[in-house]
Amino acid sequence: MIVRQVPLRVAALALAAAALCALCTPRTSAADVPQAADVARGEHIARLICSACHVVAVDQEFPPLLRQATPSFAEIANRPGVTAESLQRFITTTHWDVDKLPMSMPNPMLSKPEVQAVTRYILSLRKR
């Protein structure tokens, strides 16, 4: 076996370059992966269910069906005081009564994980 000696300066330079690469590489924690998946799932759900009344994405294929103006998801995300908890509460507790006008938001009948995914998607639209 041939052992090759590397000058100390070259080894130190290689070690510094490796450390710099490690610092510049974006980190994705295990907690970020499910959240990113939730955001994508939330967008999918929003496009299927919420887009009939709201603009849920700038590249939405069709405009909302309602003539009555409703806030876009980006507008909702950027309102002062909007939190995950307030969004989840709003989505799960607003129900439309057919006798009540003006119309309010109907119950989208989403499961708790679906509500959480839509909430994460909406919050991902915040301007940074």
**Per-residue pLDDT at 11 exceeds 80:** no
pLDDT band for 119, please (50, 70, 90 cuts). very high
Residue 47 in contact with residue 60, Cβ under 8 Å? Answer: yes
Q: Percent of the chain scored above 90 by pLDDT?
A: 47
Cα separation, 128 vs 118, in Å, equals: 19
The 10s digit of each residue's pLDDT in 20-60 is: 444 444 444 444 455 889 999 999 999 999 999 999 999 99
Q: Is the bond preceding 7 in cis, omega lying within 30 degrees of 0? A: no
* Domain limits, the chain: 31-96+103-124
Question: With 0-12 CB in 10 A as exposed, 13-18 as middle and 19+ as buried, what is 87?
Answer: buried
Architecture of domain 31-96+103-124: Orthogonal Bundle (1.10)
